[in-house]
Structure 1
Amino acid sequence: MLFLFNDVVFDLGDLKSVLRSGKIPLSTAQIETLTAAQLNSLVREAVFADPHIAHNKPEHVRHLVALISFVAPGANALLAVRPDDATGFQEVGLRYANVSITTLASLWRDQTNGDLTAHQINDQVWLAA
């Protein structure tokens, strides 16, 4: 399963394996009762603390996108932006999308080849959504 988080495509593989890996600091019961609002807060807090988290802590983001995929199964892309002058995590903007698997696979291939650009992502995902 592929998921785009800002400018990085993550291959989650088997979603249930990621969720049950024991690396997510939530119990199975907490994961199963996690609401979209709670998840949005977790993502906002993480991006507020580190706007480049997808590059700096990819394993952490991999777990976040697994949670997103579980809680909001229609979403497979997220743009999370912290304004430079943000004073709190509530100011982090989130935009979800459902991107075709063909587009995600193309982005994944380009990322693997070192050719993926933010401009390409904007054109193929965010301007098309």
Structure 2
Amino acid sequence: MLAQSIRASRQTLVRVARQQPALISRRTFIVPTAVRQADLVQDLYLRELKSYKPAQVKASDAEGHVQKFAVPKAPASPEEGDIASDLKSYETQQVDLETGASEDGAAPVEEDWFEEEEDTPAAAH
């Protein structure tokens, strides 16, 4: 039985080997069946894109949008005469002193803000 199966497999192999050169020699060309349909929007877009010419940029185009640069003026320095007069008025100013006497002439009441509690002797147990 084993011999018959080997002989049968040999015969099929020989048959396949004889048919292989015929298959290899034939070449086929597969053509896609779907036909490319024209895309109207894409065609219009590409045509307009090719025909577009950008406008030339002129130097005068930016005049309304850009401000002219002007160097800021230097700050004025303080005058020495003003400093001297300010210093003199400060020196002649009347000094306000806070005195201990109130308007009615009575001595001010001294308040003690820090009051200690007296220690109470601990009760004997």
TM class, shorter-length: under 0.3
TM-score (norm 2): 0.14
TM-score (norm 1): 0.14
Give the greater-gyration-radius structure (CA): 2
Higher RCO (CA-CA < 8 Å; seq separation 6+): 1
